[in-house]
Amino acid sequence: MANNKKKNQQQYQEFAKQRETKRPLIKNCIRAFLIGGLICTIGQVISTFYIHFFHFTEENVGNPTVATLIFLTMLLTGFGIYDKIAQFAGAGSAVPVTGFGNAVIAAAIEHRTEGFVLGVGGNMFKLAGSVILFGVFSAFIIALVKTILIQWGGL
Amino acid sequence: MIYFWAFVVGGAICVIGQIMFDVFKLTPAHTLSSLVVVGALLDGFGLYEPLIDFAGAGATVPITSFGNSLVHGAMQEAEKHGLIGVVTGMFEVTSSGISAAIIFGMIGAILFKPKG
């Protein structure tokens, strides 16, 4: 009986695999490349603006650039435009920092009806939380190993 | 010229993300988490800073730069305070991405109504 069930499941999985629409890899990659590249170029324009008018250096210009991009993301997400870009671009809109911003802001707007504390506060990092977790934890391990190597290994 | 390289490098990192979506069938959360770890590793080996010099926003805008700046902040403080600095310096450099996301997330929730 149990064996039979397993067999059915396997058959179903194979069936589902056959029926699954093939993802157009090349087309998706070209779209991701174009939109991702475009977002980074916009970022570069903003960076140049900050370097010339607000005396940031090339070292620390990343910070205001990221903040500005996330501000723009807020507008695009709020008016429902970012979703449409994401449908077209796939990873091209998810991988830049605007995708991180969109994940936070969309969750915040969506859960607003549940109240600001439980809804917005509780769900804001539902999607973006894992990025922060693994970013911070891996950075901790890497910096720890490097510091130990430098201090005791004389690297 | 920097605009061209920002476009190419930024686009290339997004293509890597798209391949992780389509070929390895990873969810966006898995893909972004992996990319952040890759960024942190690259900075651990001192490879991310040259990429930023070369591609500007093409390297600072993708999420990989988040991992890079976390390690960077931790190492900066570690030089001054030793092992304790690894923990205290973590958000030294990268605070703007997270604080901007929180601030504009809140403002967005106040301004906009959910759709659908």
In chain B, the residue whose alpha carbon lies closest to the alpha carbon of A96 is B62
Within-domain flag for B6: yes
* Confidence class for position A140, pLDDT limits 50, 70, 90: very high
For the cut 80, the answer to whether the pLDDT of residue A98 exceeds it is yes
Choose the weakest-confidence range: A14-18, A30-34, A131-135, B98-102: A14-18
pLDDT of residue A35: 94
List chain B residues with CB under 8 Å of A130: 29, 32-33
Contact indicator for B64, B47 with CB cutoff of 8 Å: no
* Confidence class for position B97, pLDDT limits 50, 70, 90: confident
Closest CA–CA distance from residue A51 to any residue of chain B (Å)? 12
Q: Does A138 lie at the interface with B, CB-CB under 8 angstroms?
A: yes
For the cut 80, the answer to whether the pLDDT of residue A17 exceeds it is no
Q: Does A86 lie at the interface with B, CB-CB under 8 angstroms?
A: no
> Which residues have C-beta within 8 Å of that of residue A81, sequence separation ≥ 6?
none
Report the predicted TM-score, pTM, of the whole model to 2 decimal places: 0.87
pLDDT of residue B8: 93
A17 burial (CB, 10 Å; 0-12 / 13-18 / 19+) is exposed
**A130/B32 Cα distance (integer angstroms):** 9
Domain count, chain B: 1
Q: Averaged over A7-35, what is the pLDDT?
A: 84
List chain A residues with CB under 8 Å of B112: 77-79, 109
CB atoms A35 and B14 under 8 Å: yes
**How far is CA B8 from its chain centroid?**
17
Q: Does A72 lie at the interface with B, CB-CB under 8 angstroms?
A: no
CB atoms A140 and B29 under 8 Å: no
pLDDT of residue B2: 87
- Quick one: DSSP state of residue B27? -
* Confidence class for position A2, pLDDT limits 50, 70, 90: low
Within-domain flag for B12: yes
Closest CA–CA distance from residue A71 to any residue of chain B (Å)? 6
* Domain assignment of residue B86, given as a range: 2-111
**B14/A31 Cα distance (integer angstroms):** 9
> Which residues have C-beta within 8 Å of that of residue A78, sequence separation ≥ 6?
A105, A109, B108, B111, B112
**A127/A61 Cα distance (integer angstroms):** 27
For the cut 70, the answer to whether the pLDDT of residue A1 exceeds it is no
Within-domain flag for B116: no
* Confidence class for position B114, pLDDT limits 50, 70, 90: confident
> Which residues have C-beta within 8 Å of that of residue A54, sequence separation ≥ 6?
A64
Q: Which of A32, A63, A144 sits opposite B15 (nearest CB)?
A: A32
List chain B residues with CB under 8 Å of A142: 40-41, 43-44, 71
